[in-house]
């Protein structure tokens, strides 16, 4: 039995044109990249000029929640645009070749498109903030005070419903010209390691306050 053909892009705007063999368009591949990062770059056009803004996000199903001040230009302008674009990239390793030309990096990336709406209902707004918080530090929402009505009025929450997207990854080693293999220059992969450092307590912390379980869990070794 032949292997099923992997799904392609929904439209040309999400098609990966450079190294298409590195692309994936299925929901699981795109979500895996989104779940591995917490900062996305949101693109929009304001008064005919492009702008790209880094933002924290949280994913729930096929939706991304974003938040910011009600005075934020992005939060005010983005819902009026027919489609928003969010891109996310994780660098896994530097690929150091023997020649400058063949230097590269191993990475995972995702680019998603979809309409955006402003979340007006306070209950959904609070839910969106919980999704973002839990995406950043799982378990943290239950440990802290939830936003007050005044704080919710000061905060804008947007929901982007993903209509289409693509994931792309480079995962292999050095590609060098045969003529360069005897140069005597070190070549290989230098992993890029991401993680949390030692927590620094607020100096006003009440005496005897233990480290939050969510932080302890985030610091625990994987596996």
Domain ranges (residues) in the chain: 12-176+186-195
Q: What is the DSSP letter of 211?
A: P
In the numeric block, which tokens belong to residue 127? 């839910």
Q: Give the span between the Cα atoms of 75 and 89, in whole angstroms.
A: 22
Q: What is the DSSP letter of 157?
A: E
User: Is the pTM higher than 0.85?
Assistant: yes
For the ranges 23-32, 68-77, 82-91, 137-146, which has the lowest average pLDDT? Answer: 68-77
Contact 117, 31 (CB under 8 A): no
Q: What is the pLDDT of residue 6?
A: 63
- The CATH number of domain 12-176+186-195 is 3.50.50.60: no
Contact 187, 96 (CB under 8 A): yes
> What are the helix and strand counts (H, E) for the chain?
5, 10
Q: What is the pLDDT of residue 183?
A: 94
Does pLDDT of 158 surpass 90?
yes
Q: Give the span between the Cα atoms of 6 and 116, in whole angstroms.
A: 28
Q: What is the pLDDT of residue 22?
A: 92
Q: Is 186 exposed, middle or buried (0-12, 13-18, 19+ CB in 10 A)?
A: exposed
* DSSP-based three-state secondary structure for 210: coil
- Average pLDDT of the chain is 92
Does pLDDT of 173 surpass 80?
yes
Does pLDDT of 16 surpass 80?
yes
- Give the Å distances, CA to CA, from 77 to 60, 67, 72, 93, 135: 23, 13, 9, 36, 25
Does pLDDT of 1 surpass 60?
no
Q: Give the span between the Cα atoms of 94 and 47, in whole angstroms.
A: 38
Does pLDDT of 222 surpass 90?
no
What average pLDDT does the segment 7-13 reach? 83
Q: What is the pLDDT of residue 3?
A: 53
Query: Tokens 């625990």 label which residue?
Result: 220
Q: What is the DSSP letter of 82?
A: S
What average pLDDT does the segment 163-187 reach? 95
């Amino acid at each position: 039995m032949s292997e099923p053909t992997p799904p392609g892009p929904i439209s040309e705007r999400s098609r990966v044109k450079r190294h298409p063999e590195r692309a994936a368009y299925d929901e699981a591949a795109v979500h895996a990249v989104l779940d591995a990062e917490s900062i996305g770059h949101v693109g929009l056009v304001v008064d005919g000029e492009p702008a790209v803004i880094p933002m924290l996000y949280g994913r729930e199903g096929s939706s991304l929640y974003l938040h910011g001040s009600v005075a934020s230009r992005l939060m005010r302008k983005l819902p009026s645009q027919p489609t928003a674009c969010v891109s996310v990239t994780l660098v896994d390793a530097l690929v150091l070749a023997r020649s400058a030309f063949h230097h590269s990096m191993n990475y995972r990336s995702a680019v998603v498109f979809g309409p955006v709406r402003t979340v007006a209902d306070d209950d959904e707004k609070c839910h969106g903030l919980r999704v973002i918080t839990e995406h950043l530090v799982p378990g943290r929402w239950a440990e802290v005070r939830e936003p007050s009505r005044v704080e919710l009025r000061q905060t804008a929450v947007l929901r982007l419903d993903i209509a289409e997207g693509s994931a792309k990854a480079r995962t292999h080693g050095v590609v060098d010209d045969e003529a360069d293999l005897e140069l005597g220059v070190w070549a290989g992969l230098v992993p890029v390691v991401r993680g949390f450092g030692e927590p620094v307590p607020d100096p006003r912390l009440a005496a005897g306050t233990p480290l939050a379980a969510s932080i302890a869990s985030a610091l625990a070794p994987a596996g």
